[in-house]
Amino acid sequence: MSAEVIQDTHVRVHVTGDIDLSSVTEFYNALDEAAERSPGGFIIDLTETTYIDSAGVQAILVIYGKMRESNGCLIIIVGNVRIKTVLEVVHLEQLPGVCVCTTLDEAKQALYISKREQEGNP
Amino acid sequence: MEKMKRAGFILVVAFAILVGFLAIVGVGGPVLEPSYLALVFHIVFVFGASIAIAVVSARGYLRSGSLNVALLGASLLISGLASTISIWALVPGIWPTLLINEAIAIGNIGILIGAFVQFLSAVVTWSAFGTTDVERRKAILVTIYFISLLSIAILVNLAALGLTPIFLTPAGPTPVRMVILVTSILLTLASSLLFDRRYVQTRSQVLYWYSLALALFGISLVCAAFTMKIGDIMNWVSRLALYLSGLYFFMALRTSEAADADLTERWVDAFGTDIGLNTLFSNMLNGVTYCKIVTDETGKPIDYVYLGVNDAFKRTNGVSVRDIVGMRATEVFPGIENDPADWIGVYGHVALTGEPVAFESRSKLTDRWYSVSVYSPRKGHFVSISQDITESKRAEVALRESEERLRHALDGAKAGMWVQCSNGEWFSSPQLNTLFGRPVDARPMGFEDFPSILHPEDLLRIREAWTYAIATSGPYEEEYRVIWPDGSVHWLASKGKITTDESSRRQFIGITLDITERKRAEEALQRTNEELQAVMDALPIGVVITDAHGGIVRTNGMDEKIWGSRPTTKGIEDYYEYKAWWADTGKPLAPEDWASAQVVLRGETVAGQVLEIQRFDGSHGFIINSAAPVRDADGKIIGSAVAIQDITTLQMAEEALREEQKHKLEFYQATIMAATNGKLIITERSEIEQIAGPTAATWEIHNPEDIRIIRHGVEEIAAVAMMDEARIGELLVCVGEAGQNVVKHAGNGKASLHKTDDSLIVVVSDSGHGIPALAVPDVALRRGYSTVGTLGMGYKIMIQFADRIYLATGPEGTTVGLEMYLHLAELQAGVGLMEKFGL
């Protein structure tokens, strides 16, 4: 697995490979770094992720907790149905400030909307 | 002297040989019979000796009263006179009225009478006719000598009248003469031997020469028997032997005179017939001796001669010589002159001074004690009456030693003795004083002292016991307290019994001991016992102490509650009365299975026997039974200590709890199954293994990397099994979650893949602590619930994706079976491939 923090107009964590117990630390560190850079929200790009288990979900939830302290949001891009199902099992998409998208554009838009909502509702 | 004795003996033997030779050769030889020659010789050697001995014998008899001595004198008187008259008659012309035959008859018959009297004197003890009256002795002596002379006179007259048988014919001796001669020979030689025997016993010189003289006399008679003619060789040999015997008689007289004792006493000594001792003291138990003291030139006593002894003396002094009369003390008891008791000195003093003494003394020679009374009946003589008191002396010494030992024993044992006689007299040992706190040398304790000394609480009891013992002659054994003068209280124990002494008098004898220390030790032991019992009774567990045989010697209150009243239990053999079963197996307990039995039989400490028991009231309960050995100072097992914990309530509570949990689990299982739409099945590990079927692959789980490897392995096999790709992905998520649980909760585990007809089953198991039974619903159904505090969502995910989940969990670990059906359409097509993989 590799997790890369990309910053252009927004901050995005791009993950390739399997997120499991052996790689979850690296994954979490990338998420943490992104949260530091963009407390208002960032994108987790799982389009090239092949596997995620509950450990990865747990890492996302921990970062989610941090983000919520600053009212930030998490935008997750999922290309794999299986990963999406995993996230749905724990009803991640139903959490406030969490948006699960299928493309990067959708994600950028969702991030923009969320930030706007944050600004209007500080 | 010894040379002379030897020469005398050799001469006799030589004569005997000569006579034997002549008798065999039968030499008659020339006849030599000058007138008066034989007569002169006879008068000198035969008649003189006869008269001298007759005189000496007469004196001896008058002094001693020994009839033997008188007879001896008479015998020689008769023989000598008859022989001399016979020779006289043979002198031609002197006595023409007598023929040779008559002369020989007088000689032979006289000799026969003399030999007979001689024999009587030698063989018979005439003490029965003895008397102590000197006048009467004289009368008897005169009578004997008169009869002797009378018999000779009669004999001569009979011969003169021609009334005697024919003794000698021209052809030789007649049978009558031979009979008379042979009889005379036998009697004379027998007498000689008897005197010789007395000589061997007494070593008396007198007897030596006397017996030899008689032997020669006998030889002379033998020669006479072979004499064919008067004056032939054999006749002269006979005469020479006769004359020589006369010389020997003189020798005997001369020897007597040379001895320390005078002839008379030696004469009496030789016959041992002192009339006084033999008649009066022969049957006495005390030893009696009559002796004459022998002194040296200065008059100092140096020995004494036994003139008479009774049998008791010889017996008590261990004298083996049959007759010691005539012997010296130094001969009978060699070394007596050096005996510290100084017998010779003491006896000599009595004999010489006439002062009687009585004393007790120990003879070093015989190693015996004697009580001796000595007096002197006449100067130079003494009579000693002695009693062997060795046994009583030894008893006295033993008694003294015994008393000494007893005194030491009493001192050592702090004991005192007492005796109450039937007349009320009371004696006590000095040690008794110390038992009552009084100085040992104080006035001996009296019977009347006790009421004031005895403890008031014990007084009545002791008095009654004392009275009862006396009344019943039974044993007396009491323990009681006494109050010492300083006010301190001491414990004493008395034991006594009624005995009867030699005079049939009853006496109450007893011993008293100080048992204060023992009593205090007993009291301390009793206190310790009571404290121990109190501690045991306070314990919340049952405690039993057994002896080395397993017999129960002590229990506590809790034990009584656990078992009820125990029966008497003397040993392991009585354990069959205790009904018990092993709690885990329900098998009955044998007597030797009990913890206490194992302790005393094998020395093993046994802990934690969980047993179901049947109490003695019939009810049942549960106990934990443990036992450990009780050892003495040497480490030897002398019993066991058993601890019994009643776990009946606990056991019942656990049973109820288990039952409740079982019900709950069943409820949860049903609920979970319903809530998961039949997906999550709570079951047993064995059931999962049974459902899973043949194993296709196995993996070890030690770290997260292993989970990835498993995922890939499962993916490949699932793909080969033609599982739908989407379903493969879901199965892999489930495998990842199950593996993750292993790493998180147990650290290590294993996984295996199994193939059934229409599904793949991945079994993941670990040996962790498992999920608590009642937490299973939360773990499985509640989102975010985790037993280790992490967000618990693994099971939610697995339930979401797997077609069926089998879960077995408990303290021994957790096993999860993840079943995913193969796509039905491809399942059928993929059978061949599955077989190719050996699934």
Nearest to B107 by CA among B181, B13, B161, B1: B181
Chains A & B: contacts with CB separation below 8 Å: 64
Give Cα B288 distance to the centre of its chain.
Answer: 41
Give whole-number Cα distances, A4 to A12, A39, B2, B256, in Å.
8, 17, 158, 166
User: Which of the residues B733, B743, B744 would you substitute to probe the A interface, choosing the one with the greatest number of A C-beta atoms within 10 Å?
Assistant: B733
Inter-chain contact A20–B726, Cβ cutoff 8 Å? Answer: no
Helix (H, G, I), strand (E, B) or coil at B641: strand
How many Å lie between the alpha carbon of A73 and the closest alpha carbon of chain B? 20
Q: How far apart are CA B223 and CA B220, in angstroms?
A: 5
- What radius of gyration, in Å, describes the C-alpha atoms of chain B? 65
Give mean pLDDT, residues B174-199. Answer: 85
User: Which of the residues A81, A89, A91 would you substitute to probe the B interface, choosing the one with the greatest number of B C-beta atoms within 10 Å?
Assistant: A89
Percent over 70 (pLDDT), chain B: 88
pLDDT at B789: 43
pLDDT at B178: 85
Among partner residues B729, B743, B791, which is closest to A82 by beta-carbon distance? B729
Nearest to A67 by CA among A100, A99, A32, A94: A32
How many Å lie between the alpha carbon of B764 and the closest alpha carbon of chain A? 16
Instruction: Give me chain B's average pLDDT, please.
Output: 82
Q: Over the stretch B641-668, which tens digit does the pLDDT of each residue have?
A: 999 998 888 888 988 888 887 887 788 7
Residue B709 confidence (pLDDT) above 90: yes
Q: Over the stretch B523-577, which tens digit does the pLDDT of each residue have?
A: 899 999 888 888 888 888 899 999 999 999 888 888 888 888 888 888 998 898 8
Q: Which of A5-19, B207-221, B259-273 has the highest mean pLDDT?
A: A5-19
Backbone angles phi, psi at B436, to 5 degrees: -110, 15
Give whole-number Cα distances, B292 to B253, B349, B377, in Å.
20, 12, 11
Type of residue numbered B273: T
Residue B450 confidence (pLDDT) above 50: yes
Among partner residues A53, A80, A81, which is closest to B737 by beta-carbon distance? A53
Please name the residue of chain B whose CA is at the shortest distance from the CA of residue A22.
Answer: B704
Secondary structure letter of residue B742 according to DSSP: I
Burial category of B757 from C-beta neighbours within 10 Å (exposed 0-12, middle 13-18, buried 19 and up) = exposed
- What is the rounded end-to-end Cα distance, in angstroms, of chain B? 146
Work out whether strand B368-375 and strand B381-388 pair parallel, antiparallel, or are unpaired. Answer: antiparallel
Q: How far apart are CA A43 and CA A24, in angstroms?
A: 17
Inter-chain contact B736–A51, Cβ cutoff 8 Å? Answer: yes
Please name the residue of chain A whose CA is at the shortest distance from the CA of residue B797.
Answer: A89
Q: How confident is the model at residue B95 (pLDDT cuts 50, 70, 90)?
A: low
ipTM for the assembly: 0.86
Among partner residues B726, B732, B740, which is closest to A55 by beta-carbon distance? B740
Per DSSP, helices labelled H in B259-305 are 263-271, 275-281
Among partner residues A20, A57, A81, which is closest to B793 by beta-carbon distance? A57
How many Å lie between the alpha carbon of A114 and the closest alpha carbon of chain B? 26
- Sign of the C-alpha dihedral, residues B293, B298, B300, B302? negative
Secondary structure letter of residue B311 according to DSSP: H
Which residues of B have a CB under 8 Å from any CB of A? 703-705, 707-708, 711, 726, 729-730, 732-733, 736-737, 739-740, 743-744, 783, 790-791, 793-794, 796-797, 800-801
Which residues of A have a CB under 8 Å from any CB of B? 18, 20-22, 51, 53-55, 57-58, 61, 80-82, 85-86, 89-91
Q: What residues in B contact A90, CB-CB < 8 Å?
A: 783, 793, 796-797
Contact B305, B326 (CB under 8 A): yes
Give mean pLDDT, residues B300-306. Answer: 89
Q: What residues in B contact A27, CB-CB < 8 Å?
A: none
Contact B320, B297 (CB under 8 A): no
Q: Over the stretch B21-52, which tens digit does the pLDDT of each residue have?
A: 887 777 666 777 776 777 888 888 888 888 88
Q: How confident is the model at residue B827 (pLDDT cuts 50, 70, 90)?
A: very low
User: Which of the residues A53, A57, A81 would you substitute to probe the B interface, choosing the one with the greatest number of B C-beta atoms within 10 Å?
Assistant: A53
Q: How far apart are CA B194 and CA B272, in angstroms?
A: 14
Q: How confident is the model at residue B72 (pLDDT cuts 50, 70, 90)?
A: confident
Give whole-number Cα distances, B659 to B239, B655, B665, in Å.
149, 6, 10
pLDDT at B629: 92
pLDDT at B782: 64
Please name the residue of chain A whose CA is at the shortest distance from the CA of residue B703.
Answer: A22
Q: How far apart are CA B314 and CA B309, in angstroms?
A: 8
- What radius of gyration, in Å, describes the C-alpha atoms of chain A? 13
Residue B388 confidence (pLDDT) above 80: yes
Q: How confident is the model at residue B161 (pLDDT cuts 50, 70, 90)?
A: confident
B563-571 — which CB contacts under 8 Å span 24+ positions?
B563/B613, B563/B615, B563/B616, B563/B644, B564/B615, B564/B616, B564/B617, B565/B616, B566/B616, B567/B616
Give whole-number Cα distances, B597 to B199, B358, B547, B593, B627, in Å.
90, 80, 10, 7, 9
How many Å lie between the alpha carbon of A33 and the closest alpha carbon of chain B? 22
Work out whether strand B506-514 and strand B415-421 pair parallel, antiparallel, or are unpaired. Answer: antiparallel
pTM of the complete model:
0.39
